[in-house]
Amino acid sequence: TNATALDGVRLLKALALPQEAALLADVERVLAAAPLRHMVTPGGFAMSVAMSNCGELGWVTERHGYRYDGWDPLTQQAWPLMPASFAVLSQQAATLAGYPDFVADACLINRYQVGARMGLHQDKNERDFSQPIVSVSLGLTATFQFGGFKRSDKALSFPLYHGDVVVWGGAARLRYHGVLPLKAGMHPALGESRINLTFRKAG
């Protein structure tokens, strides 16, 4: 059969909803220890998305590029431990998608306020692309863009809703993807914002 754009994508709608309260409390706990910050890209631009991390490794930018590091350059401490609610949900999702051995060593927390966006990019800083990435969307709905293997390839657009979990593996793993500028709105749990968690096996 022919390959399609969604090969390797497993959308688990609303999977996070039963654990919403625990997840949000744990997001707050992590961000109290490792505050959100607007990382500056190697090109010198502050990202519109504010970020932090938990787990053994965290994604950071520096003058020379992007990398994973066990140390938070802002607090000069190790990243906060991965909360159990995060580990359990990411493993449940990965198992449902056919990756029963997935154990995330990194969770990137992205916070979008109105207008924040993420341009089309590939996630290539992880060591093993046979490992999937698990994403969890919370708060305001975002329009996600899912492209091909070149930045110029045509992208599909679809909404990601509060509670949606997606496992990106196989052929999906190296596709370009991004998020359109967040539209104004009010979410009962997260107000005028969206939080996205991405779970990775980075090291």
Phi, psi of 180 (to 5 degrees): -70, 160
Least distance CB 121 / ligand MD3 (angstroms): 7
For residue 51, the cross-strand partners are 37, 110
165 and 136 Cβ atoms separated by less than 8 Å: yes
Q: Which does 108 bind (CB under 5 to 8 A by kind): ligand MD3, Fe ion, none?
A: ligand MD3
Q: Which does 162 bind (CB under 5 to 8 A by kind): Fe ion, ligand MD3, none?
A: none
Residues that bind Fe ion (CB under 5 A): 123
Instruction: Pick the closer one to ligand MD3 by CB: 49 or 76.
Output: 49
Contacts of residue 182, defined as CB under 8 A and 6 or more positions apart, other chains included, come to 112, 113, 114, 115, 116, 117, 140, 142, 193, 194
Least distance CB 25 / Fe ion (angstroms): 25
Nearest residue to ligand MD3, scored by beta-carbon proximity? 196
Least distance CB 11 / ligand MD3 (angstroms): 11
Q: Which two tokens stand for residue 158?
A: 């679809």
Nearest-angstrom CA–CA distance, 200 and 6 = 20
Least distance CB 196 / ligand MD3 (angstroms): 3
Nearest residue to Fe ion, scored by beta-carbon proximity? 123
Q: Which does 133 bind (CB under 5 to 8 A by kind): ligand MD3, Fe ion, none?
A: ligand MD3
Residues that bind ligand MD3 (CB under 6 A): 108, 110, 118, 123, 133, 135, 142, 166, 168, 172-173, 175, 177, 179, 196, 198
For residue 187, the cross-strand partners are 191
Pairing of strands 77-78, 71-72: antiparallel
Q: Which does 118 bind (CB under 5 to 8 A by kind): ligand MD3, Fe ion, none?
A: ligand MD3
Kindly report the three-state secondary structure assignment for every residue of 40-101.
ECCCCCECCCEEEEECCEEEEEECCEEEEECEECCCCEECCCCCHHHHHHHHHHHHHCCCCC
Least distance CB 168 / ligand MD3 (angstroms): 4
Annotated binding site: 121, 123, 177
Annotated binding site for Fe cation: 121, 123, 177
Instruction: Pick the closer one to ligand MD3 by CB: 76 or 185.
Output: 185
Instruction: Pick the closer one to Fe ion by CB: 26 or 123.
Output: 123
